[in-house]
Chains A and B, each alone.
Chain A
Amino acid sequence: MADLTVSIGALTLKNPVIAASGCFGYGVEYASSLDISALGGVAVKGLFLNEREGHAPPRIVETPAGMLNAIGLQGIGVHRFVKEKLPELGRLGATTIVNVCGSTLDEYCDVARVLSDADGVGAIELNISCPNIKEGGIQFGCSLTGTYDVVSAVRKVTSLPLIPKLTPNVTDPASFARAAEEAGADAISLVNTFLAMAIDVETRAPKLTNVMGGLSGPAIRPIAVRMVWECRQAVKLPIIGMGGITNATDALEFIIAGADAVQVGTANFVNPMLWADMIAGINDYLDRHGIARVADLVGQMTTGANS
């Protein structure tokens, strides 16, 4: 049995497999089907200060080996989350990572303050990369100064581990990883979804009411692996990698590219019982290769130059 623990700032994950935000509800939805305390972490659905309605359906459409979504961050707001969901996540033994959204810099800080005062939050994932909302989110995540400003502002109001979630919809994600590091982040997570769209040619209507949406699933995996690898070269921070991971092999690919931990999103829709197999598969691989700790595999890609 290898050591699967992962350190993200002051937070220790029992293994590197985290349920991705926006793909696992508030975590409690899955408690009757599986032991969510066995996951490395549960990243809950993005939260603003107040309740939020989200976009009109249809909100998803399937694409080759993937899907587009434009949910629009429907959510119950941070206050209801703290009151109604957080205690139950604690009882269930989950390691809770809260995805924090904002329309303004002040809102990000306000949400982070509420979570800092609550019991049972393991870390804050700062959502500066949702492609589906008009204000906030990606407008911070697509600007280097915007990224720096929002991360440093939230850094000042919380001591919780702070994990900005980066967008792939930029030319050079590594420069955004550097901005996050300089602003005081404890880790980064990437990638959020790729801005994309699909059209029904018979009706000539967009397949999503919101017209554009975010592409996720195995279709994006090779691009996400490349971006994690680029960020690994750029920063020393722990990296949480994601993008189309469906099984242990996919997760290991991200770890070898430089991810300390991974998140699984779309694949959970297809197979919500995948977690135990994925965690066991990572452990089996480490045992088979004589690697004592998963941390020893991070970024260990071999190339012609160094092998």
Chain B
Amino acid sequence: MPVDVPAAVVSNLRLTPEYNVLTLAAPEIAKLAAPGQFVMVKTAPGLDPLLRRPFSIFEIMRDPAGAPAGISLLNKRVGVGTTLLYQAEAGDRIDCLGPLGQPFAPVSPPAEGWMVAGGVGLAPFATLAQALKARGTPMTLFYGGRGATDLFYESFFADLGATLVITTEDGSRGEQGRVTSPLERALAGRPADRPVTVYACGPTPMMRAVADLGVRYARATYVSLEPVMGCGMGGCYSCVVRVTRPGGTHFVRSCIEGPVFDATAVVWDALSEGHH
């Protein structure tokens, strides 16, 4: 059951000129949130921008007693709404509706959880990593960016016990190239009797490549998709994704049936065409 709260900005950590982490006081959302869920954020009061924007819940913030106190958002400045969130100041009020959407299902041992993040696609994995740790599930984060300035919070994941595999396209950090290269080597090297579940979030071509690897190596693979979204509640039918279901392929609403989908169900050609 989602709630709408006028969340106060607790802090705004500007990581680079492009990225920031906005911490919001929203205990009502924090206590309900499951890994991979999202919130619909009104980036400014009034009519411009009019619509809310979907954001993965990045961290669950806790008070000194350990009770859920708020959430954080990992934001990349790309347009009007994200620029407003980059510029937000402590004390500002930002309407947040959530938590929304279907969460990740964290696997338990003996399976391992492998997370594959591209850039700001890291966002849904902080909560997933905590859920995996709580189950004692060994985990790896494959984390790629264009360059070193696209990569954040590595120590957060390392502190949870995750193995980190870093790639950058310009070679400024980790292995040069795409994040799918070390993922493929790891999949190829893993014996078939040792289960692993792959979770991916990032640019559509990256998620599609991960989905293909999941099929090739016969590993369960889930993706968190980020289509244009109007309402987040199932009201508008704008965020549809074509998926395979019994009887054929259908457009389904990613806000209520996603954003997490079984990668083998997604009709990737339809998704790629949708991005001009």
Contacts and interface: CB of A to CB of B under 8 A. Distances in A.
| Chain A partners chain B | yes
Interface in A73-100: 74
A167 B15 CA distance: 49
B42 interface: yes
A54 B251 contact: yes
Nearest to B273: A56
Interface string A93-137: 000000000000000000000000000000000000000000000
B91 interface: no
B50 to A, nearest CB: 6
Contacts of B50: 62, 65-67, 217-218, 266, 270
Given A33-B233, A64-B48, A57 B97 contact: no
Given A67-B51, A271-B4, A272-B4, A56 B270 contact: yes
A205 B276 contact: yes
B233 A30 contact: yes
B49 A33 contact: no
Contacts of A273: 4
A155 B52 CA distance: 40
Nearest to A61: B228
A73 B111 CA distance: 43
Interface in B193-209: none
A32 interface: yes
B1 A269 contact: no
Interface in A2-32: 22-25, 29-30, 32
A58 interface: yes
A272 B1 CA distance: 13
B274 interface: yes
Contact of A24 (B1, B227, B235, B256): B235
B270 to A, nearest CB: 7
B271 to A, nearest CB: 8
Which of B1, B48, B237 has the most CB atoms of chain A within a 10 A radius of its CB?
Answer: B237
Given A270-B42, A271-B4, A65 B237 contact: no
B276 A71 contact: no
Interface in A254-292: 266, 268-273
Nearest to A63: B50
Contacts of B238: 57-60, 69, 71
Contacts of B51: 62, 67, 269-270
A57 to B, nearest CB: 4
Interface residues of B, number: 34
Contacts of A66: 50
Given A266-B50, A269-B52, A71 B4 contact: no
A54 B236 contact: no
A59 B52 contact: no
A130 B237 CA distance: 15
A137 B235 CA distance: 21
Contact of B240 (A23, A59, A67): A59
Contacts of A71: 236-238
Determine the main DSSP class of A at the interface with B.
Answer: loop
Contacts of A59: 228, 237-238, 240
B81 to A, nearest CB: 9
Interface in B242-276: 250-251, 256, 270, 273-276
Contact of B235 (A58, A64, A272): A272
B177 interface: no
B147 interface: no
B207 to A, nearest CB: 16
Contacts of B3: 33
* Max chain B C-beta neighbours (<10 A), residue from A53, A57, A61, A71: A57
B174 interface: no
A270 B241 CA distance: 22
A56 B270 CA distance: 8
B2 interface: yes
A76 to B, nearest CB: 10
B78 interface: no
B240 A54 contact: yes
B47 interface: yes
Contacts of A45: 237
B47 to A, nearest CB: 4
A65 B251 contact: no
A209 interface: yes
Nearest to A269: B231
B69 to A, nearest CB: 22
Contacts of B1: 32-33
B240 A74 contact: yes
Nearest to A267: B50
Contacts of A209: 274
Contacts of A29: 233-235, 256
Contacts of A30: 233, 235
6 residue pairs, one from A and one from B, having the closest CB atoms:
A29-B234, A269-B231, A65-B47, A60-B238, A57-B274, A59-B238
Interface of B: 1-4, 42, 47-52, 95, 97, 227-228, 230-231, 233-241, 250-251, 256, 270, 273-276
